[in-house]
Structure 1
Amino acid sequence: MITRIRDAWERVLLYLPLMVVGAMALGTYWLVRSTPAAGEAEVPRVVGHAPDYFMRGFSIKTFDATGQIRSEVMGSEARHYPDTKWMEIDSIRIRSFDTQGRLTTATAKRGLTNEDGSEVQLLGDALVVREAETGKGANASPRMEYRGEFLHAFMTTEKVRSHKPVELTRGSDRFTADSLDFDNVDQVLQLQGRVRGTLVPEKK
């Protein structure tokens, strides 16, 4: 009896390394099957046109490298869309300063703005105002107003465009047109469609 037990135990000891190696091989095979292949690209997550966050009664300010304020965007409610990286704002109000500190404001019932506030689309009772600048010669400029149901304002390049009827007031002069493309830096105004204008002579 003791001899049989000893023989059986010797057989176990003889095949034990083989059993261990087999168990390790099975474990390795399972691990390889369960682990994703190296360098396997993840399937990109589809981003729908749905807001990923909201803001209410907010104010967002941006500053330049010297700490001077460049723009401030305010509104009653804002919705950010991750697919376009644009923000939709209700009752939008904007204050923007150029590199020389000149102020431009914009208001509308609704607005769309990019992340840095340099580009704004105004919808519904849109109004963009460039305040008058006092000075002599080329440094002086009258107050500018742009009104319409849609205005596309480029705050840093000082351009305003619209493919819908607009009203432009420059000092005492007033123009209306079916579309507008104005570059304040180059002082180039393009009005198209039914264009009407009223020019008031400057007082000497």
Structure 2
Amino acid sequence: MISRGSLWLPLAILLLLAALSFWIERMVEVPANGGASPTRTDPEGIMENFNAMRTDLDGKPQYRLSAKKLKHYSDSKFTELELPHFTQLDEQSGDVSAVSKQATVSPDGHEVDLRDDVLVERAAHAGQSLMTMRSARLLVFPERNQMRSPGPVVIHDATLDLRADAMEYDAKQRILKLTGRVHARYISGKG
């Protein structure tokens, strides 16, 4: 017959393991920020060297979005990009690209908010020179083929230097609207 003392040892070990597993589970459940729900600093997913292309129904490329790092947040459904590069592809009027240090993409993907040292370039194409635009912030609406800068912009091409307090650009209609204090200087092509 087995003595009662030898039954207590396995039971004590089981109780110790149960208490230890309960303590570990509690420690893992409590977030590092003191029990509060995850914040925007806790991304759901991170992707490095991100590159995506949007095509129309016929498979023709419309625009490309790439970034050094992509962070997606499930609580807000927003996506943050580090060193983003957005390119609107247009064979007829030339590609328009925009780069910056940071960007945020809306949950539905219809708005890209580029921030910090934004540089936009319209490629030289059939009768038009390279055009550049610099701004601190640029809102891009890929589905509508539009861009808007709510703050100061500097635009330069082979014949013009422009400065304005704000800018809107419609790529389909090829209309550039400058508002606020606008300064323009024509650069003669003859030297």
Question: Normalised by the size of structure 1, how large is the TM-score?
Answer: 0.62
Structure 1 pair 114–98 and aligned structure 2 pair: CA distance change class (3 A) = farther
Instruction: Give me the CA root mean square deviation.
Output: 2.9
Structure 1 pair 180–195 and aligned structure 2 pair: CA distance change class (3 A) = same
Q: CA deviation at 1:160?
A: 2.0
1:154 corresponds to which of 141, 147, 162: 141
1:23-102 equivalences in 2 (<5 Å): 49=40, 50-98=42-90, 100=92, 102=94
1:194 corresponds to which of 176, 181, 186: 181
Gapped runs of 5+ residues in structure 2? 1-36
Structure 1 pair 130–115 and aligned structure 2 pair: CA distance change class (3 A) = farther
Q: CA deviation at 1:87?
A: 1.5
Percent identity for Structure 1 against Structure 2: 27
Distance in 2, matches of 1:123 and 1:164, equals: 11
* SS of aligned partner of 2:102: strand
Specify the structure having the higher radius of gyration (Cα). Answer: 1
Does residue 127 of structure 1 match 2:114? no
1:101-112 equivalences in 2 (<5 Å): 102-112=94-104
Aligned length: 153
**Paired residue type of 1:143:** L
Structure 1 pair 62–164 and aligned structure 2 pair: CA distance change class (3 A) = same
Structure 1 pair 202–119 and aligned structure 2 pair: CA distance change class (3 A) = farther
Distance in 2, matches of 1:189 and 1:121, equals: 19
Distance in 1, matches of 2:145 and 2:124, equals: 14
Matched residue, 2:18 = none
